Amino acid sequence: MLTLDSLRSVNGVIAVLSALPRNGFGHLYVTLYSRDNFELEYDGESQDEMHAKLAASFPESVNQFSFYSTLDLPHLPLTKHALLVDVETLVKLDPLPFAPTLRRLELYSYHDYLTDTDTNILVRVFEHLPATLTHLKSLSLIYCDLTAANMDDYLTGQWPDTLCRLTLSGNYFTECLPTIPFGIRSLSVSVAEALLKTGGEAIVTTWVASLPSSLRVLDLHWTRLLPNADPLASILLQHLNIRVPGHTRRVQLRIVMSMVSAEMLVRLRDKFDLVDANMVRVSDVRPHPSFTECVFE
């Protein structure tokens, strides 16, 4: 694994990247962008020229690639197993840097909302999922301004059969909630916005009742957005009735316990493997460059 974090000199980054093997490098983690009191140094060359040189210095392929940057690069290395990248970085890339063997894909946005161009990039990504990423196990779309319609239009009925982990943190599903395919074992999503709207309890109730029987972990850490999570707890108690094989195994439910009354917590513990979402790492911040297999007990 090689980590290049917040280096100032673009030429310095190019020199390091150029020395790497051209194919099959293990895990490359790069953070490279200008921000307050930290400007990249281009050594007198134009940004376009330096960005082209930077792109050319990357290996042709890597196994795992984490790239935090807002630079416009003409291409990125082909990633074989796990890719973490800002959606905006993909805007000018054609083809997208996804190998058919990709197992984990994590896309996020630095901005509070996506532009029309960025949304088009997500459409391109969605079109790749069922067609080419037939080994994908884990998909994270974080702060991508998604709607349930976006997902249902492009993915319902077309999800890769291998997909078992779906993270939709930071997407505010206000009108309706996305259809979750069978096979998903771990799901992170916010239902708070839908629950707070008029008629929201009916929307969330229908959605909870429709969750696939394959589900083993339900992460609802965004319960902190609710003034009181007892109505949500009541819905889960009545309508989340997934039977897990084995006498002692239950669905793991992750919520912010401080938002639920003591009485409801007792009832939730009786039915679920209850975990306080504040005690586990969740994707409500910029994603951590950690790539692990989608493995569940």
Most confident of 139-153, 156-170, 208-222, 243-257: 208-222
**Window from 48-52, 93-97, 241-245, 278-282 with minimum mean pLDDT:** 278-282
What is the mean predicted confidence (pLDDT) over 176-202? 93
What is the mean predicted confidence (pLDDT) over 152-157? 83
What are the pLDDT digits (tens) for 251-272? 999 999 999 999 999 999 999 9
Higher pLDDT, 31 or 106: 106
Res 292: pLDDT? 42
* pLDDT band with cut points at 50, 70 and 90 for residue 11: confident
Secondary structure of 30-89 in HEC code, one letter for each residue: EECCCECCECCECCCCCHHHHHHHHHHHCCCEEEEEEEECCCCCCCCCEEEEEEEEEHHH
Mean pLDDT of the chain: 85
What is the mean predicted confidence (pLDDT) over 120-140? 84
What is the mean predicted confidence (pLDDT) over 119-142? 84
**Window from 71-85, 107-121, 237-251 with minimum mean pLDDT:** 107-121
- pTM of the model as a whole: 0.87
| pLDDT at residue 234 tops 80 | yes
Give the rounded percent of residues in the chain with a pLDDT score beyond 90.
49
| pLDDT at residue 146 tops 80 | yes
Instruction: Decide: 216 and 246 in contact? Cβ < 8 Å.
Output: no
Res 294: pLDDT? 44
Higher pLDDT, 246 or 141: 141
Higher pLDDT, 116 or 228: 228
Res 37: pLDDT? 44
